[in-house]
């Protein structure tokens, strides 16, 4: 879905910086660094929502994506 959003934004020639971070073996949820990366389902009565992903790649993605988020915010809001 993120690829489709970026395609639409670029076709509309939006003026803002963008980047889609995608990580192998990571599901729909990337926690903040230091938080458990072992949560792969979320209770949502009456169903449980499967988030997918594996713990180690999710933990690594948390560190990398947070670092990149901070870099983006610093560069954008100087």
Indicate the average pLDDT of the chain: 91
Helix (H) or strand (E) holding 43: strand 41-44
Structure tokens at 59: 């933990």
Share of the chain above pLDDT 90, in %: 62
Strand partners, 44: 47
Residue 21 has pLDDT above 90, yes or no: yes
pLDDT of amino acid 35 = 86
Q: What is the pTM of this model?
A: 0.80
pLDDT of amino acid 41 = 82
Which of the four pLDDT bands, split at 50, 70 and 90, describes residue 12? very high
Which residue in this structure is represented by tokens 């926690």? 31
Q: How far apart, in Å, are the Cα atoms of 78 and each of 65, 67, 69, 70, 72?
A: 20, 17, 14, 12, 10
Average pLDDT on 37-53 reads 83
Q: What are phi and psi of 49, to 5 degrees?
A: -95, 120
């Amino acid at each position: 879905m993120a690829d489709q959003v970026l395609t639409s934004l670029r076709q509309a020639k939006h003026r803002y910086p963008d980047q889609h971070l995608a990580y192998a073996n990571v599901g729909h949820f990337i926690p903040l660094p230091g938080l458990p990366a072992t949560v792969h389902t979320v209770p949502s009565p009456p169903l449980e929502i499967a988030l997918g992903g594996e713990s180690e790649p999710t933990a690594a993605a948390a560190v990398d994506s947070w670092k990149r988020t901070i870099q983006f915010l610093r560069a954008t809001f100087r």
